[in-house]
Amino acid sequence: MKIFIYDQAKVHQQGYFPSDVDETQMYVIGGMYLQWLVDNRLVNEWFIHETPDSLFEALHHKENTPLALYEYWRGQLVSDMLTEEGNAFSLFYYPQYHQDFREVFSYAHTPYHVLFTWERYENMAHKITQTYSIWREQ
What 3-state DSSP class applies to 109?
A: coil
Q: How many other CB atoms are there within 10 angstroms of residue 5's CB atom?
A: 11
Is this structure's pTM higher than 0.75?
yes
How far out from the chain centre does Cα 82 lie? 12
Determine the pLDDT at residue 20.
84
Report domain extents, the chain. Answer: 5-12+23-137
Which amino acid is present at 96?
Answer: Q
pLDDT digits (tens, 9 = 90+) for 4-35: 999 888 876 666 778 888 888 999 999 999 99
DSSP string, 3-31: --EEEEHHHHHHSS--TTS-GGGGGHHHH
pLDDT digits (tens, 9 = 90+) for 103-120: 999 999 999 999 999 999
pLDDT digits (tens, 9 = 90+) for 63-94: 999 999 999 999 999 999 999 999 999 999 99
